[in-house]
Amino acid sequence: MATGKFIVIDGPDGCGKSTQAKLLAEYFKRKHLKVLNLREPGGTPISEKIRRILLDPANSRMTVPTELFLYMASRAQLVDEVIKPALAKGKIIICGRFLSSTIVYQGIAGNIGKKLVEDMGKIATHNIIPDLTIILDIKPEDGLRRKKTRPDRMEKKELAFHRKVRKGFLKLAMENPSKYKVIPSFGSIESIQGKIRALVERII
Ligand code: TMP
């Protein structure tokens, strides 16, 4: 039985999730809590290799079903190797993205279908469901503009795709208000962090 807590920070590209996840992890560490800050795709040597394939702009011919299987493969490895054992030890996990991203990017925006992705996700996650998923909401134009590095394969997709992604996240949150909370990624880093902590403190 999992006894730890599992918090996911997700949202459109450039929403600021890695900055916020880092600050949240530091906050927990100051409180002497055992915390792991992970990212998806990634977080294990195998998953990081899969990440490189997925995000390499040279792989522009990659199809959506291929994406789907690779994101799920990266996740399956991370869950078995890191997430499941850490939760069993009572740790707090903060994860940048999780199944919610596949539901939105491949299932909704990529037209695979939400239900199919959710069902497949059960294999990769062993039915581990985050205690809380925070969606940092941002307009795709603003998010993509914030990125300082060269655009990766996903960021290079057209704006219409990224608009569907944003809508998808908001829809997912509306349908599951007890598990998903939306915070506008607007204002200072500190004020957004304050809102995240207020939500997280309710479950820790
Ligand atoms: P990021 O974590 O640096 O934002 O990069 C990951 C990219 O991969 C981002 O564009 C979202 C995308 N993605 C999916 O399309 N499906 C997924 O399941 C995950 C985890 C990420």
Pick the residue whose CA is nearest to atom 13 on ligand 1: 101
Q: How confident is the model at residue 148, as a pLDDT?
A: 81
For residue 96, the enclosing domain spans 5-200
Atom of ligand 1 at shortest range from CA of 39? 2
Flag residues of the chain having pLDDT under 50. 2
* Alpha carbon of 173 to ligand 1 centroid (Å): 18
Q: What pLDDT shows up at residue 105?
A: 98
- Calculate the dihedral angle through the C-alpha atoms of 110, 143, 153, 127, rounding to the nearest 10 degrees: -50
Token output for 151: 């655009």
Q: What crossing angle do the helices spanning 64-78 and 45-55 adopt, rounded to 10°?
A: 160
CA–CA distance, 36 with 39 (Å, rounded to integer): 10
The whole-angstrom distance between residue 101's C-alpha and the CA centroid of its chain comes to 6
**Tally of domains within the chain:** 1
pLDDT of residue 3: 84
pLDDT at residue 147 in the model = 84
Tell me which DSSP letter residue 79 carries: I
Residue 140 pLDDT: 96
CATH, residue 77: 3.40.50.300
Q: What is residue 12's predicted lDDT score, i.e. its pLDDT?
A: 98
